[in-house]
Amino acid sequence: MNNFVFHNPVTVYFGTGEIQRIGTLIAPYGKNVLLVYGKSSIKRMGLYDTVLKLLTEADLQVFELSGIDPNPRIESVREGGAMCKKHNIDFVLAVGGGSVIDAAKGIAAAALYDGDPWDFYSYKAQAEGALPLGTVLTLAATGSEMNRGSVVTNFATKEKNGWGCAYTYPQFSILDPTYTFTVSKHQTGCGIVDSLTHVYELYFSTNKAHLNDRICEAIMKTVVHYGPIAIEDPENYEARANLMFAATLALNGLTGFGKTWDGFNHTTEHVISAYYDIAHADGLAILGPHWMRHVLDDDNVLKFKEFAMNVWGVADNGDDMAVAQAGIDAVFAFYRSIGMPTTLAEVDIDDRELDAIAAQATRNGPIGRFKTLNESDVRTILQHALK
């Protein structure tokens, strides 16, 4: 187990009706609030009206930035930062899923920065502060509600990069599972895949960390159990609640104690969706099991065997490689069972940009720490994932 420092300052308010706290939570920071949200979903479910009513009752002045895209654009971050400066915003409130929250983090930092906020995401500058922000979560997926990370896309440069700093942790996050009842089957599936992939990238590590691995397995088993239930019975509170908190725990630092992040899946998918603007988790569902097949070898077979037996219930028949392969087959089968793609062809991607994607993914050198992968490895995985 590696040395580690763990600090997570986010206060989580979990459960039905916790939204009633929101005015009291924000009021100490000031009067002017920038409300950041997506397109129409929070209005259809009535959450928009509830939030606006509670903020008004707390004597807060609300300014709005709507229309945040599923792959949040740097243009939205720039616009939000400019609004914060123009209206002397005191607090940024994100109401939505991970994309909205990610954009809000960038906006909060942009509000106190004189340059282009893309400087943060292109690693040319580091924020020296950010406005305080809070979140109301409506999609169990990214874990952004309890970490400092933010992923933003610049389609002009075909880059999708992650960034965060100590100032971009939310002050609080309200997690009410009932706000996920209206999430579509596909978006529920996306959340399932995103949560699992966050765990994969720490579970599959060369570092030995027994307790951490058991925590990872518990999260994965919870997602695998409750995911199909939520898809078939979207208003099942128990399923939605377990998925919501599992997604939060998957990327709040808990699963990373003493471990090294692998990074292949997210690094490569960010490039794919910067080229094709597909749903992030569609890309992860395609890459994940193909990556597993590519990296499985005699040196790491026992880790994959552990994964197969402890997460997927594969029986030990004495053939380590066969058990490991059965576990990977189970991932493919599970993703297909919940309606997620497992080939690039299913999201209308052919082989024309594979060379460029592989080159971009490895532009800073080989990727993957569980097993190091160079540009040709990435190209091979993409080729296998075509159909």
Per-residue pLDDT tens over the stretch 73-108: 999 999 999 999 999 999 999 999 999 999 999 999
- Taking residues 370-381, report their average pLDDT: 98
Is the pLDDT assigned to residue 4 strictly greater than 90? Answer: no
Return the closest-CA partner of residue 116 out of 74, 53, 70. Answer: 74
**Percentage of the residues of the chain whose pLDDT score is greater than 70:** 100
CA atoms within 13 A on the CB side of 198: 30
Q: What does pLDDT average to over the chain?
A: 97
Confidence of residue 177 (pLDDT cuts 50, 70, 90): very high
In this prediction, residue 1 has a pLDDT band, given cuts at 50, 70 and 90, of confident
- In the prediction, which pLDDT does 125 show? 97
Question: Given the structure tokens 């939505």, which residue do they identify?
Answer: 96
Selection from 83, 89, 81 nearest residue 109 by Cα: 81
Taken in order of first residue, the domains within the chain and their CATH numbers are 11-179 (3.40.50.1970), 184-384 (1.20.1090.10)
Q: What is the mean pLDDT of residues 331-354?
A: 98
- Give the pLDDT confidence of 180-212 residue by residue, as tens digits: 999 999 999 999 999 999 999 999 999 989 999
DSSP state of 256: G
pLDDT at 386 over 90: yes
- Output the pLDDT for position 257: 86
- 277 within 8 A of 387, measured Cβ to Cβ: no
CB 26 within 8 A of CB 95: no
Over pLDDT 90: what percentage of the chain? 97
Cβ proximity of 325 and 331 under 8 Å:
no
Query: Cα(247)–Cα(138) distance, rounded to whole angstroms?
Result: 12
Cβ-Cβ contacts under 8 Å for 191 (sequence gap 6 or more): 139, 140, 141, 183, 243, 247, 281
Predicted confidence (pLDDT) per residue in 231-283, tens digit: 999 999 999 999 999 999 999 999 998 899 999 999 999 999 999 999 999 99
The pTM score is: 0.96
Residue 134 main-chain phi, psi, to 5 deg: -135, 165
d(CA 64, CA 366): 42
Length of the chain measured in residues: 387
Six-digit token pair at 24? 């009291």
Rg of the chain over CA atoms, in angstroms? 21
Beta-bridged to residue 36, according to DSSP, are 65, 94
For the beta carbon of residue 69, count every other beta carbon within 10 angstroms.
Answer: 15
Number of H helices, E strands in the chain: 15, 8
